[in-house]
Structure 1
Amino acid sequence: PPPLPSPAKEFLESHNKARAEVGVEPLQWSEKLAKDTSLLVRYQRNKMGCDFANLTASKYGGNQLWAGSAAAVTPSKAVGEWIKEKDFYIHANNSCVGNHECGVYTQ
């Protein structure tokens, strides 16, 4: 396969570093998922809104992030924001500490 574009590689490496820290198998890049995601991103862009994508009918989940400026969010920073939810995750019963969310972390 061709080498990954730099942002894709950074997302994948950042995810896999966080996964390794908790003993979870690494992810592998999927061209099919990347193409499906690209379609979703174009759809969201064309709606010209700031709502998160509705993935209810999708077989995929998704990690989404609110940011004041997209230019300031690198792939590593985005993954770092998602990983912050780890502090609220209770592994023993796969739940979150009350009044907190950790669905992005467990995605």
Structure 2
Amino acid sequence: MIQDTLNKIEKQLESAKLSDEKRAELLELAKTLRAELLDLEKTSKDNARSIANFTQASTHELLKDDKNEDLLDLSAQALERSVVEFENSHPRLVQTVRDIIISLGNMGI
């Protein structure tokens, strides 16, 4: 299930109307997120799934033609909250999610 969600995120990014630079940046973050979530999944499957789903929701909302600013904000907040408890145990995951939020924020969230 997590693999499917991560694949969807990558496909969304690959087909999005983004600059090559922004696409490459986000795909690299998605690659790091994949590795971190697959590691987290070994010990906390439900949390890993939540983080993947919130990332996909944030990406989906950002890339829609008719963006809803409230949904963009909510999805970014939910994504941030989904990783807070892993600050000590999975710092790279937390930093990757924060980098994704910042990158998306620079695009309009």
**TM-score category of the 2 structures, normalised to the smaller one:** 0.3 to 0.5
Q: Which is helix-richer, 1 or 2?
A: 2
TM-score using structure 2 length? 0.34
TM-score using structure 1 length? 0.35
Answer 1 or 2: higher relative contact order, Cα 8 Å, separation at least 6: 2
Larger Rg: 1
